[in-house]
A = this chain, B = another copy of it.
Amino acid sequence: MARFNFEGEPPAEQEVCHLTTTQNVIAGRWKIVVLWYLSQRTRRFNELQRLLPGISKGILTRQLRELEEDGMVHREVYKEVPPKVEYSLTPQGKSFIPALEIMGEWGKNYMEKKQNEQLDSEKPQI
């Protein structure tokens, strides 16, 4: 059971393991976008909530807590009233920025190609 190998390719197992690790960290409806907003600067809780229209406090809290547990995000609590909590990327989190950039680039190209395909199919008169 748990046969990850196939016809002799030893590095495959490793690579799949690493990719799965990455996937587990960024899985979640909002995490990639949260990481990107934090890559720009430190943000407060309500600021993030405004930036993510449609997210609820509960789910934003969970996404941030999970990112914190995974060592991606630092949570700084200021003992003030009203409360103030700032979120920022840890060095670990910052090391993910190149991946965010390449994913953003890819998404941009992807959308452009999709739009071209649509334009092509709208005027198929040869």
CA distance A115 to B121 in the complex (A): 52
Cβ contact within 8 Å between A50 and B106: no
Q: Specify which chain B residues have a CB less than 8 angstroms from the CB of A19 in the assembled complex.
A: 32-33, 36, 100, 103-104, 107
Chain A interface, >50% SS class: helix
Number of A residues, CB within 8 Å of B: 48
Q: Specify which chain B residues have a CB less than 8 angstroms from the CB of A16 in the assembled complex.
A: 33, 36-37
Cβ contact within 8 Å between A47 and B102: no
* Residue in B1, B40, B92 whose CB lies within 8 Å of A12: B40
* Residue in B71, B104, B110 whose CB lies within 8 Å of A25: B110
Number of copies: 2
Which A residues between 94 and 126 are near B, CB-CB below 8 angstroms? 95-96, 98-100, 102-111, 113-114
Q: Specify which chain B residues have a CB less than 8 angstroms from the CB of A96 in the assembled complex.
A: 106
CA distance A102 to B22 in the complex (A): 10
Cβ contact within 8 Å between A21 and B107: yes
Closest 9 CB pairs of A and B: A18-B107, A21-B107, A22-B107, A22-B103, A18-B108, A18-B104, A2-B53, A99-B102, A19-B104
